[in-house]
């Protein structure tokens, strides 16, 4: 069955003709805007994971205390 599927895929790729499609300026600008937004989000995520811990180290602020078990009830 896989040989038949591979043969059908190869024949389908060989038999296709080029599509003379037009991408208008709106679609192009949308694609560029989306790409820029993804890149900016990735850069800001990396900067957030690196910058804020460094800023805390530079200023000497300790991390927020983690809540633990209450020892006053014992």
Q: How far apart are CA 67 and CA 74, in angstroms?
A: 17
- Measured CA distances, 40 to 8, 28, 30, 34, 51 (Å): 42, 18, 15, 10, 15
Which one has a higher pLDDT value, 60 or 62? 60
Segments making up each domain of the chain, as ranges:
24-60
- What's the pLDDT tens digit per position in 5-61? 999 999 888 987 877 888 788 998 999 999 999 999 999 998 888 888 888 888 876
- Contact, 56 vs 63, CB < 8 A? yes
* Predicted pLDDT at 74: 53
Tell me which residue has tokens 């014992």: 74
């Amino acid at each position: 069955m896989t040989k038949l599927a591979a043969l059908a895929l190869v024949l389908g790729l060989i038999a296709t003709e080029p599509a003379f499609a037009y991408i208008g300026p709106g679609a192009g600008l949308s694609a560029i805007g989306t790409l820029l937004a993804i890149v900016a989000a990735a850069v800001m995520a990396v900067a957030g994971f690196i910058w804020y811990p460094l800023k805390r180290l530079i200023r000497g602020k300790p991390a927020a205390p983690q809540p633990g078990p209450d020892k006053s009830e014992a």
